[in-house]
Amino acid sequence: MDTRPPRHLFHGFPSRIGQFWQNYLSRLKLFNRNIRLLLFGEFLVGLGMTSWGLFFNLYLEETGFSANPKSLIGATLVVANLAGAVFALPAGYLAGRYSLKLQLIIFQLASIAASALAMFAPGARSLYALIFAANATGVFARVAAGPLIMQNTTPAERTYAFSTNFIIMLVGGVAGNAFAGQIKAFLNRSGVAALLGYRWTIVGGIAFSLIGAIPFFFIRNAAPGEADVLSLRDWRKWNWPFFGKMLLPAGLIAIGAGLFNQFMNVYFKDRFRSSDEAIGIYMAAQSATMALGVMLAPALAEKFGKIRTIVAIQLLSLPFMSVLGFSENLHASVAAFIVRAALMNMASPVTSALMMELCRREEQGVVNALSILVWNVSWATSAQFFGTLKGNFKILFTIAIVLYFTASVFYFILFRKAESEKPADAPR
pLDDT at 227 over 50: no
Instruction: In whole angstroms, give the CA distance from residue 142 to residue 165.
Output: 12
> Exposed, middle or buried, 382 (CB in 10 Å: 0-12/13-18/19+)?
buried
Reported pTM: 0.67
Task: Tell me the per-residue pLDDT of 3-41, one tens digit each, with 9 for 90 and over.
Answer: 555 555 445 545 666 676 777 788 888 889 999 999 999
Would you state the pLDDT for residue 106? Answer: 92
Q: Where is pLDDT greater, at 180 or 363? A: 180
**Which pLDDT band holds residue 2 (cuts at 50, 70, 90)?**
low
Q: What is the per-residue pLDDT for 419?
A: 66
Q: Rounded CA gap, 307 and 304, in Å?
A: 8
What 233-240 contacts at long range (C-beta under 8 Å, 24+ apart), as own/partner pairs, is 238/363, 238/366, 239/359, 239/360, 239/363, 239/423
For position 147, what pLDDT does the model report? Answer: 82
Other beta carbons within 10 Å of 369: 29
pLDDT tens digits, one per residue of 319-360? 999 999 999 999 999 999 999 988 877 878 788 778 878 877
Characterize 268-295 residue by residue with b for buried, 16 or more Cβ atoms within 10 angstroms of its Cβ, and e for exposed.
Answer: bbeebebebbbbbbbbbbbbbbbbebbb
Lowest mean pLDDT among 106-110, 319-323, 363-367: 363-367
Q: What domains appear along the chain, each with residue ranges and CATH number?
A: 31-225+240-420 (1.20.1250.20)
Q: Are 365 and 147 in contact (CB under 8 A)?
A: yes
Contact call for residues 348 and 294 (beta carbons, < 8 A): yes
Rg of the chain over Cα atoms, rounded to whole angstroms, equals 22
